[in-house]
Chain A
Amino acid sequence: MTAPTNIKAPATSGQLATFRLDGDLYGIEVEHVQEVLRSQQLTRVPLAPTAVAGLINLRGQVVTAIELRERLGRPPRAEGTAAVVIVVRLHGEAVSLLVDSIADVVDVDASDFEAPPDTLEGQARDLIRGAYKLDGQLLLALDVHKAVSA
C-alpha cells in the first residue's frame, strides 16, 4: 500500500465512495471506507495540528477525526451545519474524515481519469490524485492515505 507519487497516479477503475465538500464532489476507494456516521461528539485535542478536529468515541474505540476542509485548505464549515463522519480503515487503524455530506457510490472507469491540472495549487495538490470526468461534473479522487496523515 505504498502511496504512489501523485503525478503518476494510476488511473484505476472501480468503485469510489463519494462525498461533498465545499461544493465539490470527492471520492475515496470504497474498500477503505468502514462506515459513515452522522455528526459525533468531538473531544478537542489542544496543541494538535489544526486539521485534527478531535477524537470521537466509535463504540468504545477512540478514533481521530480529521477536518477535510482544513486539509484541503477550504474555509471552515458554516456554523450550525453538522459534519458527516466517514470512518476509514487504513493499515488496520481507524481514522475518520469530516465532510459536508455523503453521496453515492460511483463506478468509475480508468479511461475517464485525468491527472490534476497543473494550476491546482497548495495543500490540495498533494491530496488529490486526479479527476474522473463524470457526466456534468468532476469527481476528485482523494489520496486517502495522505489525507489522514495530518
Chain B
Amino acid sequence: MDGLDDIVEEFLVESHENLDQLDSDLVALEQDPNSRERLSSIFRTIHTIKGTSGFLAFNRLEEVTHVGENMLSRLRDGQLDLTPARTSVLLQMVDSVRSLLTSIEASGGEGPVDVSGVVNAITAAMEDAPAVPPAAPALVVPAPRAAPAAKKTPAKKAAAGPAAAKKTPAGKATTSRAKATTPAALAARPVVLADERPEGAPAVMPESTVEEAAPAASGDGQTRRAVADSTIRVDVDLLDELMLLVGELVLTRNQIVQNVARQTDTDLIRASQRLNLIASELQEGVMKTRMQPIDHIWSKLPRVVRDLGLQCGKAVRLEMEGRETELDKTLLEAVKDPLTHLVRNSVDHGIEAAEVRKAAGKPTEGVLTLRAKHESGQVVVEVADDGAGIDPAKLGAKAVERGLVTADALSRMSPVDILQLIFLPGFSTAAAVTNVSGRGVGMDVVKTNIESIGGTIEVESEAGRGTVCRLRIPLTLAIVPALTIECAGDRYAIPQISLQELVSLDAGKAANAVEEVGGAQVYRLRGELLPLVRLTDVLGLTSERHDGHVVIAVLRSEGRRFGLVVDRVINTEEIVVKAVGGQMKAIGLYSGATVLGDGTVALILDVQALARRALRTETTDRQDSQKAAAHAAAASETERQRMLLAAIGGGRRVAIPLDTVTRLEQVRTDAVEKVGNREVVQYRGAILPIVRLDRHLGAYGETDREVLEVIVYADHGRSVAIVVEEILDIVDGEAAIRSDIDDLGLLGSAVLGDKVTELLDVRAAILAADPAFYNTPTPTATTPAGVATSLLEV
C-alpha cells in the first residue's frame, strides 16, 4: 500500500467501479445487442482504463484494453455483430483487467500475469472466427494464469515477505471465482463455453485457492478494503446539502443553548450540553468530508520550483512543513493559483542567483519553505524564501515612478506600509519582465483571489534575509465564526477573521477619548491614531444609542486598521453564510447574509469593502489632490493640502499641513526634561525634541498647563514634537484665501474656517527643535515639496 501513490490508488478505485459496471453492461448488451448507447458506454470505460494504464506505464493492461477497445470500436461502428462468443471474450478481457488490477493493488506492479491468451482470443474473435476458436483460447487462458499465481509467489516473497505473498493468490481466487460465475450467468447462451469452462481450469482453481484464501483473508481483506471498498464516491452536491443541514443544526443548537442558559432544569441543561457537543462533532465530521490535505496542491510545486530554478539558473531547495494540513476542497482549489504565483515569484524575484548569494555570504542553494498550519480556526499558509528580501526604498521608488503614491506620501509611510504597496494593481517589482513572472498578473490578483474566499494576505520582508508571504484562509466557506453587533436596531455579522479587538468606552471616557477633528473622528488606541468609521454613517442610518457609550470594533483590512463604531456588541457565534441575490451583492457592502439563532436574517458585513468605502474619502481625496498637485505649481499644491488647525495662544491659529502630522499625543508637563537649553521628552524609548510653537512664533500662551498637546512628526526614524495649545480642526486648504502677509517661521496666512490662520513653516519649526533633523540621507524626498520651495523665499 505504501508503494502506491495517489494517482494509482485513484485509478484502482475508479477502475474497480467501472469494471463492475462493465460486467452488467456486457450482460445487458447481450439481451439488447443493438444498443449503441450501451456499447459506447463500455467503449468509454475501456478507453479510460487504457488511457490511464498507458500513462501509468502498465503495459500489459494497456495491451489487453487496447485490443478490447479495437473490438468494441468495430462493434460500435457496426462493422462487427455482437455474438455470444464475442461477448465472452469481452468478459474475459474484463477478468484479465481485473486480475491485473488486483496484482497492481497488491504489489504495485502488474506482476507476471499473462495476457497473451486473452489478446489472442479477442483478436481471433475479431477476425470473425467461428465460435470454436474463442472457446479454445478461453480454455487456455486460465491455465497460464493459474501458473503465474504460483510463479508470482516467490517474486512477492522477495519483495514484501510472506504476508504479501499470500495476498496474491487470494486476489486471484476472487478473480477466478468471478470468472466462473460470470459465464454461468451467460449459461443459457454460449452453450459451448458454459459447459466447457466449469470443467476446465476454473473448476479446479476455486478449490485450490479457497484453501489459500482462508489463511490470507485477514491481511488480504484489509488491503482491498483500504483502496477499493473503504472509500465511496459521494456527490459533492450531497456533501453541500449535508453541510447546509449541519449549518441549520448549528443555528438551532445556538438557539437552544441560549435559551437553556436561562433555565434551571438540570436534565434539560445536560441534554443541551450534549446536543452542543454532538452538533459540534457532527459539524466537524461533515466538514472533514470536504477536507483535503494541502499536499494535493503542494505536490505539483516541487516540479514548478525545479523547472523554474533551472530556467533562472538558480539552485533552489523546496521544503514543506505541514503538508497534511487540511482545508475545504473548494478553498483548496481557490488557493492553488495564488500559491503557485507566490512560489514562482519567490524563485524568480526572491531568491538570488548563486554568485550573488555567495557574495552575500549565504549558501549558494536558496531555500523556499512552504508552511501550513491551523491557527485559531484558520489555515495559515506561508511561502518563505531566504532570498534578497524586498527593499522598501526600492519598492517605494518604484511605486512613485508608477504614480501609485506620491513621494510625499511615501516619505511618511512606515516600511511595513510600503511593503503593502506591492498589492496595488499595476505593480510589478521585476526589474526586467521575465517570461516567468512580471507579466502584469501581479500580487493584486493574488490578493483579490484570496480575498474572494474570505482570506487575507500579508507580506513581511527583511532586506537580505528573505520574504514571507502569509495567507490566512478560513477553514471552510460555509460556517465562519463571526461577531454579531447591533446598529440602528438591526443586527449585523462581522467575520472574526478581520476583527482585532473590541474597545468599549463609557460616556465619560468617550467624551475625551474620541477626538473629533473636522469630520474625522479618531481614537487613540495605545498611542496610535485609529480612524473611526460609524457604521450608521456608512449605512445611512441613525444610531439608536444616545447614552454616549462608544463601542469600537477594531478591524484590519489591507494592512490598515480602523475602528468601526457600532451601537452594541451582541456576541460571537458561528454563522452559516447564505448567498444573497444579485441586487444585494451589487451594493458592495455585504458579503452575504446569515440566519441568527432566533431566526432573524442578519447581513454579513464585507470588511474589505467597508474599509474601501469608508476610508476612500481620505485616501482617494488625498491621492487625487496629490496627483493634481504634481502637475500644478508648488503654491497651488499647498492650497490643496488638508490642514490641521491648532491654537497656539494669544488667539492665534496656525495651520499645519496634515501630511506632516504623524501622530497626535498628549504629554505631561512634568515629563519634559532638558538637554542643554533644549526641551525633550522621553517617548517610546527615544528622546523626542520639543518645539513650543507659541515661543517659536512669538505668541504668549499659557505656560502653566499640566498636559501639553503635541503634534509628532516622524521621518526616517527621527521624530520631533511640536507643542500647541489646542488642536482645533482639520480643514481642506483648497478654498482658502491666501495672503503673503507673514512673519518669521510662517509661510503666509490664509482664511480657513472664517478666521485668519497662519501657515506654519514646518521645516523651520522642526529645525528649531532638532537642527540635525534633515541631516539624514535623501533629505529632498522627506520634505514636503511645497514647504521646501517656499522656504527659499523666507
Contact = CB atoms under 8 A, between A and B. Distances in A.
B665 to A, nearest CB: 36
Contacts of B581: 64, 93, 95
B602 interface: yes
A95 B582 CA distance: 11
Interface in A109-131: none
Nearest to B588: A47
A64 B587 CA distance: 14
**Which of A56, A62, A93 has its CB near the most chain B CB atoms (within 10 A)?**
A62
A45 to B, nearest CB: 6
A5 B392 CA distance: 58
Interface in B210-267: 244, 247-248, 251
Contacts of A64: 580-581, 583-584
A47 B248 CA distance: 28
A41 interface: yes
Interface string A32-73: 000000000101111111001011110011101000000000
B583 A52 contact: yes
Interface stretch (B84-92, B496-504, B593-601): B593-601
A149 B586 CA distance: 12
A103 interface: no
A43 B111 CA distance: 67
Given A52-B583, A62-B578, A62-B595, A43 B540 contact: no
A150 interface: yes
Contacts of A61: 578
Contacts of B603: 43, 45, 55
B523 interface: no
Contact of B593 (A47, A49, A55, A150): A55
Majority DSSP secondary structure for residues of B touching A:
mixed
A40 B794 CA distance: 71
Contacts of A57: 595, 599-601
Contacts of A62: 578-580, 593-595, 601
Contacts of A46: 490, 539-541, 589
Interface in B480-530: 490
A54 B490 CA distance: 12
B590 interface: yes
A22 to B, nearest CB: 23
B587 to A, nearest CB: 5
Interface string B548-588: 00000000000000000000000000000011110110010
A45 B584 contact: yes
A41 B540 contact: no
B578 to A, nearest CB: 4
Interface in A91-114: 93, 95
B583 A55 contact: no
A55 B539 contact: no
A138 B251 CA distance: 46
A56 B595 CA distance: 9
A49 B583 contact: yes
Contact of A48 (B248, B587, B595): B587
B479 to A, nearest CB: 13
Contacts of B541: 46
A61 B578 CA distance: 7
A95 B584 CA distance: 12
A45 B595 contact: no
A91 to B, nearest CB: 11
A93 B540 CA distance: 29
Given A55-B601, A56-B601, A57-B595, A47 B583 contact: no
Nearest to A60: B248
Contacts of B595: 57, 60, 62
A48 B247 CA distance: 27
Given A52-B583, A57-B595, A47 B578 contact: no
Contacts of A48: 583-584, 587
Contacts of B247: 60
Nearest to B579: A62
B217 to A, nearest CB: 48
Contacts of B248: 60
Contacts of B490: 43-44, 46
A43 B178 CA distance: 62
A45 B600 contact: no
Interface in B338-352: none
A41 B583 contact: no
Contacts of B599: 41, 57
B590 to A, nearest CB: 7
Contact of A45 (B244, B578, B579, B587): B587
A57 B593 CA distance: 10
A54 B587 CA distance: 13
B490 to A, nearest CB: 6
Contacts of B601: 43, 54-57, 62
Given A61-B578, A62-B593, A62-B595, A43 B602 contact: yes
A150 B581 CA distance: 11
B540 A47 contact: yes
Contacts of B590: 45
Interface in B599-633: 599-603
A47 B589 contact: yes
Contact of A43 (B539, B587, B600): B600
A49 B583 CA distance: 8
Nearest to A43: B601
A62 to B, nearest CB: 4
Contacts of A43: 490, 593, 600-603
A32 to B, nearest CB: 16
Interface in A64-93: 64, 93
Contacts of B593: 43, 55, 62
Nearest to B487: A46
**Which of A45, A46, A149 has its CB near the most chain B CB atoms (within 10 A)?**
A46
A56 B584 CA distance: 13
Contacts of A41: 599-600
A100 B226 CA distance: 61
A47 B539 CA distance: 6
B594 to A, nearest CB: 8
A44 B489 CA distance: 10
A55 B600 CA distance: 9
A46 B536 CA distance: 10
**Which of B251, B594, B595 has its CB near the most chain A CB atoms (within 10 A)?**
B595
Nearest to B593: A62
**Which of B247, B490, B583 has its CB near the most chain A CB atoms (within 10 A)?**
B583
Given A41-B599, A57-B595, 4 more contacts: A45-B584, A45-B587, A54-B601, A57-B600
7 contacts: A41-B599, A45-B603, A46-B541, A47-B540, A52-B584, A55-B603, A57-B595
Interface of B: 244, 247-248, 251, 490, 539-541, 578-581, 583-584, 587, 589-590, 593-595, 599-603
The 5 closest A-B pairs by CB, nearest first: A46-B539, A43-B601, A62-B578, A64-B581, A62-B593
Interface of A: 41, 43-49, 52, 54-57, 60-62, 64, 93, 95, 149-150
